[in-house]
Amino acid sequence: MIQPVAGFSKRSKEEKIRWIAENYTAHPEQTEAVLRQYWHSDAQLQQLHDEFIENTISNFYLPLGVAPNFLINGKLYAIPMAIEESSVVAAASKAAKYWMERGGFHARVLGIEKIGQVHFTYSGEAETLQAFMEYLRPILLQDAAPITGNMEKRGGGILGLELRDKTADLPGYYQLHCRFDTRDAMGANFINSCLEQFSTTLLREAAAYEGFKGEEKPVEVLMSILSNYTPECVVRAEVRCPASDLEPEAGLSGEAVAERLVQAVEIANCEPFRAVTHNKGIMNGIDAVVIATGNDFRAVEAGVHAYAARDGRYRSLTGASLTDGEFCFWIEVPLALGTVGGLTSLHPLVRLGLEILGQPSARELMEVVAVAGLAQNFAAIRSLVTVGIQRGHMKMHLLNILNQMGATPAEKEAMVEYFKTHTVTHNEVVTQLKALRRQP
C-alpha cells in the first residue's frame, strides 16, 4: 500500500523522480529513463524550466509549428502555434493562403478593460454603505498609488471603481467592481495587488467610519481576485469578398458554398450541441497561439466560453452573412493577453514566438490570435459543408497511426504515397500496412 509522503517539495529532483517511479509505476527504471530523456541538455536552461512550477520532474513537450501567409491589416505574418492535434496548423495555413488571395484579414480591438473584484458582506443599510463608498473612493486610489505608478506611466492603471449591490442574489453580498487597463501586460499580478490593497483600505476605513458606529465588523471581506471574464476586452476580426470569388468545391459554386457557410454558422448560433464543437474548433487556433506566446490559455478559455453564453444561451463565437452577393465572416472574442511579464521574457521559445510575430503590442497580439481562431473556424466549416471534415483531418493524422504501428521510414513513405489517392481510415491504414509487410 502506498503511504502518504511528507516533505515531498523539499526532496531533490532525483528523489522525487525515484519516489514517483517506485510507488506509482510498474517499471521504475523505465519511468526514470523516460523522464530524464526529456530533460534539456543545457543544465542552465533546464533549471530555468524547473523553476517555472513546483515539484518539477521533467519537461512535457508540445510540437511548435508555424502557419505562414497570414495577411492581417495589410501586414504579413507567420503565426507560431503550439498544439498536439493533427491538421490544426495545416488548416490554419490553408485558410491564411485562401484569404491572402482575397484581401486578407481585417482586425481591430474594440476594448481593453479588465476586471477585478473585492467580494465582501455588509448587513446594514444600503444607503449608508453607498455614502461610505463615496467617501472611500479617493482613499482607495491614494493607497494604491505606489502600486499603480509605473502602470500609469505606461498609460494604464485603474479606470473605475463601482459598488455593486448583489444582495438579490446572496444576502449581505456586495462587491467593489474595479476596471483596469494593464497596457501590454496580461496584468493578473498587478490587478490582484491593487485588489488586496483595496481590501486592506476598505477594512481599515470601515472600522473608523462614523456612519458605522455601533456595528461590530460592519464590513467583512471574503476575497479579492481578478476576473477572467473580460467582456470589455474584445477584438473583432473578419474577412469579406464577393461570394462568386469563393472557390467552388465538391460540385458547389462559390455562391452555394457561401450559403452553406452562413447556414452552418446559424446552426451553431441556435444549437448548443453544435456550438460547443464549433467553438472548440475556434479554440484550436486561439489556444495554439496563446500557448506559443506564453499566455494563460485556461484564462482565455474560461473567458471565451462565458462570453459565448453571455445572453443565457451558449452560441457561436463567429458570425457569417451573405448580403447583396457579398460574403462576410467574422469573430468577436474577449482576449486578455500580454506581451510583457510572465513567461514572455523567460521562456526561450516564447521570446522567439513573439520575435517571429514582430514583437507585437498586446493589442496587436489580440488581433493575431482572433484571426487564428477565425481562420481555423473557416477552414473547419468549409470542409464540413463541402467534402466533410475527415478527409483532410485523417490525412494529417496518418503519420500518427503509422507511428503507433511502429512503421519504418520506408513503410511511411509507401503509405503516404498510397493514401494520396485513397481515403484514410484507421482500419484501412492497418489493412494496407499489413499487406505491405507481407510483400517480399
Domain positions in the chain: 8-50, 64-108+235-387, 114-227, 393-438
CA 257 to chain centre: 30
Burial 352-379 (b: 16+ CB within 10 A, else e): ebbeebeebbbbbbbbbbbbbbbbbbbb
C-alpha cell at 155: 498609460
Report the topology of domain 114-227: Alpha-Beta Plaits (3.30.70)
Structure confidence at residue 395 (pLDDT): 58
Q: Rounded CA gap, 302 and 317, in Å?
A: 13
Q: Give CA angle at 385 (373, 305), nearest 5°.
A: 35
Structure confidence at residue 261 (pLDDT): 98
With contact defined as beta carbons under 8 Å apart, do 224 and 117 qualify?
Answer: yes
C-alpha distances (whole Å) from 48 to each of 41, 112, 189, 228, 394 are: 12, 32, 21, 27, 37
The per-residue pLDDT for range 253-298, each reduced to its tens digit, is: 999 999 999 999 999 999 999 999 999 999 999 999 999 999 999 9
The average confidence (pLDDT) of the chain is 94
Identify the bridge partners of residue 176 per DSSP, sorted by sequence position: 118, 163
Q: Is 97 a catalytic residue?
A: no
The label of the residue with cell 514583437 reads 359
With contact defined as beta carbons under 8 Å apart, do 57 and 20 qualify?
Answer: yes
Structure confidence at residue 125 (pLDDT): 92
In three-state secondary structure terms, 195 is: helix
Q: Is 393 a catalytic residue?
A: yes
Structure confidence at residue 298 (pLDDT): 97
Q: For residue 102, count other CB atoms closer than 10 A to its CB.
A: 16
Report the topology of domain 64-108+235-387: 3.90.770
| Neighbouring residues of 208: CB distance < 8 A, sequence distance ≥ 6 | none
The CA-based dihedral angle spanning residues 319, 322, 323, 324, taken in that order and rounded to the nearest 10 degrees: 160
**Among 32, 196, 296, 364, which one carries the catalytic annotation?**
296
| Neighbouring residues of 146: CB distance < 8 A, sequence distance ≥ 6 | none
Domains 64-108+235-387 and 114-227 belong to one CATH topology:
no
**Among 280, 355, 413, 434, which one carries the catalytic annotation?**
280
Q: Is 301 a catalytic residue?
A: no
Q: Rounded CA gap, 405 and 399, in Å?
A: 10
Q: Rounded CA gap, 218 and 198, in Å?
A: 16
Structure confidence at residue 394 (pLDDT): 58
Q: Rounded CA gap, 309 and 313, in Å?
A: 5
C-alpha distances (whole Å) from 151 to each of 154, 159, 177, 198 are: 5, 12, 19, 17
Structure confidence at residue 389 (pLDDT): 58
Phi, psi of 22 (to 5 degrees): -75, -30
With contact defined as beta carbons under 8 Å apart, do 300 and 338 qualify?
Answer: no
**Among 49, 50, 85, 332, which one carries the catalytic annotation?**
85
C-alpha distances (whole Å) from 104 to each of 75, 97, 322, 364 are: 9, 9, 18, 16
Question: What are all long-range contacts of 4-12, with beta carbons under 8 Å and residues at least 24 apart?
Answer: 8/55, 9/54, 9/55
Residue range 353-367: average pLDDT?
A: 98
Structure confidence at residue 437 (pLDDT): 86
Residue range 68-84: average pLDDT?
A: 98
Residue range 47-71: average pLDDT?
A: 96
pTM of the shown model = 0.89
Q: Is 113 a catalytic residue?
A: no
